[in-house]
Amino acid sequence: MLYSILCLNVITIAFVFSSVAPPFLIYVAPSVLLVAGAIRAYSWRSRRNKPVDPDRASAMLQSVHRFAVGFALAYMAWTLALFLYGDTGRQSQLVYTVVITDIICSFTLAHLPRVALALSAITLPAFLLLLAFSGGSDAKVIALNLAMVALFFGYMVAGSARDFERMVEAQLRSVQLADENRLLANRDSLTGLPNRREFFARLESALDAESAGGGLVVGVIDLDGFKPINDLYGHALGDRVLRECAARLELFSGGATTIARLGGDEFALFMRGRSSEDDILQLGAQICAALKAPLKLAEIHAGLSASIGFARYPQDAMDAHRLYERADYALYYGKQHRRGEPILFSPDHESKMLLNARIQQALRSADLEKEISVEFQPLLDVPSERIIAFEALARWTSPELGPVPPDLFIPVAECGETIHLVTRTILRKALAAARDWPEDIGLSFNLSARDLASPVAMTQLAALIERSAFDPGRLEIEVTETALISDFEHAAHAIQRLKALGARISLDDFGAGYSSLAYIHRLPVDRIKIDRSFVQEMHANSAARDIIKSVISLCDNLKLNCATEGVETLEQLDLLRDYGCNVVQGFYFGAPIGQEAVAEMIAANRKADEGQSLRA
């Protein structure tokens, strides 16, 4: 637009002076100006929709400044030369055209104030001086008027330029804030790794790129033993542990591998390209080894390990969330069976996932009052071999699935809210059955981690115990280390509520997880129950025997009772008696039995205690 108007005004001035000025000023000089203006106009129009990088933009602006000054000087020299050949009317017309041209140039260049003011400084002063000193009083008034208009317009241009710069700065700041917000939304603030949102966005993008036939592997990583460190030393040091683990994981990122933190102590990765099973497991072993290396922080030297589950595209799933679910299931399986090792999702895992889905669906529609039953397994005092309590064990017979073992349906129930209803049903039936037992026979009952973490569930369970006719002093609640690790604060509060009712507390499966003396020290524990895995390895593994002896000695020193589960042979019982174990439980004394058989077992045990040997 600028150069189009300039060309039009050049033609107008040349036409006005065509009859009085020499041909050079009428044809040659205007032609040069017209060609230069046309070239610049075409150049700008051809580039108007093309992207320009900052360096190129800076060079273009400098070019505008140089060309504008040169063009203004040439234009000024030409118009001043024409002024000398004109009469009063033509001179007035020339001054009018030059001033109008200057105003239009200043307006079109308002966003380039230095260029606009430079043009005004070149073109206006000479004509204003000519008017002021070569004309009469009318010319002087006109010159003063034009000077005031020029100054006012220069002020307007400067103000417009400032407003424009502020608008640009505001937009740049807005873009910067948007970038920062986007970074915050997609980055984990603690470790600096991509977060869950960014991980799945990148994974889906990678899957789109690999859909033509490539391969991809997703891994889910969980730290083993982080919760005890976090609970024992506080969240500040726990955060430092997570940052250190993230730094170790970042060593495996880059190229085809992306590492992210999904939340808590859970991390994830995906790796583009086809990889063999051995390559995947080797990478997993390297990651586990890196995270297992001792943490040497200023305050502590801590040890962690990690479990990792892998799933492959396209063998295991075809979309991001299904891949994650299968990798997460492989992780879950690994933590249950091969903690601290990499696990690759397999067809067997797929079958178990489908079975879990069927169990979950059946649980949702189950009539638990009719379908759930309770069996009881005795706990015996070692010196006398007298039954002192029974542990309540859940049994579920589904109309659709048939009998479902508790090690299958309890974990599935714990994945949702169903576990609370299952727990209440089992406890109510167990308390009702135990009312008819002799007063010196107690009831042992397992609580889920989900129950301990739910204040609502604990309130309902406490009310159920209070309403029952069973003495809470005869009730022993078993909690696992896993339940404590999951949410220690809520678990501790729940245990205190149960203790206030009069119930006793037993720490179950001790030694199977990340045992911490902090739990024993900070909780009102009455008994420690050694995990069955150590008993099963007693004869073949001296380390298992040493662990059992150490735990029994620990219980003696802390004035705690000690129970051992999983006793299946006379040899195991004799060793435990020699080690000083207080209470035992296992198939050697009897398999779990129904409520109707409990009275017969108690009677037989009492009779044996009076003179007959239970072993016979």
* pLDDT the model gives residue 426: 95
Stretches where the chain sits below pLDDT 50 are: 613-616
Q: What mean pLDDT is reported for the chain?
A: 85
- Give the three-state DSSP class for 389: strand
Contact between residue 538 and residue 545 where contact means Cβ atoms under 8 Å apart: yes
User: Cα separation of 204 and 202, whole Å?
Assistant: 5
Which DSSP state fits 472? G
Beta bridge pairs of residue 508: 480
- Give the CA angle between residues 199, 514, 277 to the nearest 5°: 45
Task: Return the closest-CA partner of residue 589 out of 611, 575, 568.
Answer: 568
Report the candidate in 322, 307, 341 with the shortest Cα–Cα distance to residue 222: 307
CA-to-CA dists, residue 215 to 218, 229, 272, 331, 554, angstroms: 10, 38, 6, 20, 53
The whole-model pTM stands at: 0.63
As a whole number of angstroms, the distance between CA 527 and CA 602 comes to 23
Please give the pLDDT value at position 212.
55
Give the whole-angstrom CA distance, residue 523 versus residue 558.
13
**pLDDT value for 145:** 78
pLDDT digit string (tens) for 37-76? 888 888 888 887 788 888 888 888 888 888 888 888 898 8
pLDDT in tens, 320-367: 999 999 999 999 888 888 888 899 999 999 999 899 889 999 998 899
Question: What pLDDT shows up at residue 26?
Answer: 93
Is domain 196-345 classified as CATH 3.30.70.270? Answer: yes
265: which 2 tokens? 């102590």
| One-letter amino acid for residue 67 of the chain | F
The span from the CA of 116 to the CA of 239, in Å, is: 58
> What architecture is domain 366-609?
Alpha-Beta Barrel (3.20)
Long-range contacts, 297-302 (Cβ 8 Å, 24+): 297/237, 297/240, 297/241, 297/244, 299/233, 299/237, 300/229, 300/233, 300/237, 302/229, 302/241
Q: What is the dihedral of CA 50, 56, 60, 61, to 10 degrees?
A: 110
Strand partners, 224: 305
For 545, the token pair is 């025997």
Domain borders along the chain are: 2-178, 196-345, 366-609
CA nearest to 82, candidates 132, 143, 33, 145: 33
Contact 102, 124 (CB under 8 A): yes
How far is residue 391 CA from its own chain's centroid? 41
pLDDT of residue 129: 76
| CA distances in angstroms from 159 to 112, 123, 154, listed in the order given | 12, 21, 9
